[in-house]
């Protein structure tokens, strides 16, 4: 009874204030070399932390991807498909551990810039069902935001009620966070200038979409380039599909190139930055 009473108090505290946060996703391809294992771009992490510190945005939540850290191990053990063989348990633990290592490097950059960032481990507050988030305990997130902390989450290996375990992408995470926390906006930092009609790294005449409505986004889903073999979370195709629930709730999303200096700073400040803005209408 005493534990229940304490939980009820926490829930009441979490309802005292409902800030409308900005959800910032930093893609794994931005902070790691996706063609190499365990190759983190610490200088990029440091720059991004500096841009976030200089922007001085209240109610910010950061989510980062796994890139060359999480994806190779998750693919090696086929973690996304669920528990089928005993040796996958080691793979699950290894994938989770590697993601905490990458998260730790990013957290180092936040600490260096005196940002009150707090790492939130998705596998300890999220449970999925067939790969989709079924349970998400938001109380901790709300309390951190009320106290002006910067929550930092990441794509993770999580437990699943049907599969045993699976991979939770940072892209599904940001959309669910945005809806659950009633976010003001989503910013997605990738390694290209936004959404294109084809792969801009392979096609010289690729067209950048500066603005898309929800209806246009849904049509674009069917035409977007599929993920590479070493991206277990869906690549750009997965990113735009995961944004749809948040867009349906009226939360705008801006996709920008986070590898370019000051782009994240500018978009956080509301300044005009090349990219793709996605809105409900």
- Rounded CA-CA distance 207/195 in Å is 8
3-state secondary structure of 213: strand
Spatial distance between the Cα atoms of 53 and 137, rounded to a whole number of angstroms: 27
- Residue 235 confidence (pLDDT) above 70: no
Instruction: Please check the confidence at residue 227 and state whether its pLDDT lies above 60.
Output: no
Does 164 have pLDDT greater than 90? yes
| pLDDT in the model for residue 205 | 85
In this predicted structure, the answer to whether residue 87 has a pLDDT above a threshold of 80 is yes
Domain that holds residue 136: 2-279
Predicted pLDDT of residue 1: 54
Q: Which residues pair with 238 in a beta bridge?
A: none
DSSP state of 36: S
- Please report, for the domain that includes residue 124, its CATH number: 3.40.1160.10
Q: What is the pLDDT of residues 12-55, one digit of tens each?
A: 554 556 779 999 999 999 999 988 888 999 999 999 999 999 99
Which of 1-5, 66-70, 145-149, 161-165 shows the lowest mean pLDDT across its residues? Answer: 1-5
What confidence score (pLDDT) does residue 36 get? 83
Cα separation values, 191 from 10, 156, 182, 194, 256, Å: 39, 21, 27, 8, 8
- Number of structural domains the chain divides into: 1
**Per-residue pLDDT tens digits for 56-73:** 999 999 999 999 998 899
Q: Is the dihedral of CA 278, 237, 33, 93 positive or negative?
A: positive
CA distance 9 to 20: 22
Q: What angle do CA 202, 40, 108 make, to 5 degrees?
A: 140
């Amino acid at each position: 009874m005493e534990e229940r009473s304490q939980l009820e108090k926490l829930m009441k505290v979490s309802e005292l204030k409902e800030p409308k946060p900005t959800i910032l996703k930093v893609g794994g391809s931005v902070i790691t070399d996706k063609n190499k294992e365990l190759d983190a771009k610490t200088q990029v992490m440091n720059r991004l932390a500096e841009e976030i510190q200089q922007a001085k945005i209240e109610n910010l939540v950061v989510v980062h991807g796994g890139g060359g850290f999480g994806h190779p191990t998750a693919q090696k053990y086929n973690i996304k498909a669920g528990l089928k063989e005993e040796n996958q348990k080691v793979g699950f633990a290894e994938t989770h551990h590697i993601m905490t290592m990458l998260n730790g490097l990013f957290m180092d950059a936040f600490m260096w810039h005196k940002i009150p960032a707090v790492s939130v481990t998705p596998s300890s507050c999220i449970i999925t069902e067939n790969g989709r988030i079924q349970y998400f305990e938001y109380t901790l997130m709300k309390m951190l935001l009320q106290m002006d902390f910067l929550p930092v989450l990441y794509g993770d290996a999580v437990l699943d009620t049907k599969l045993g375990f699976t991979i939770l992408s940072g892209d599904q995470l940001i959309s669910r966070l945005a809806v659950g926390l009633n976010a003001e906006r989503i910013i997605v930092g990738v390694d290209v200038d936004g959404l294109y009609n084809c792969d801009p790294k392979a096609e010289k005449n690729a067209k950048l979409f500066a603005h898309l409505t929800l209806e246009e986004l849904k049509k674009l889903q069917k035409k977007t380039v599929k993920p590479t073999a070493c991206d277990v979370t869906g690549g750009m195709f997965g990113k735009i599909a995961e944004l749809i629930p948040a867009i349906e709730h009226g939360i705008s999303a801006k996709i920008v190139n986070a590898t370019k200096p000051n782009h994240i700073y500018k978009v956080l400040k509301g300044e005009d930055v090349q990219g793709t803005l996605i809105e409900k209408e």
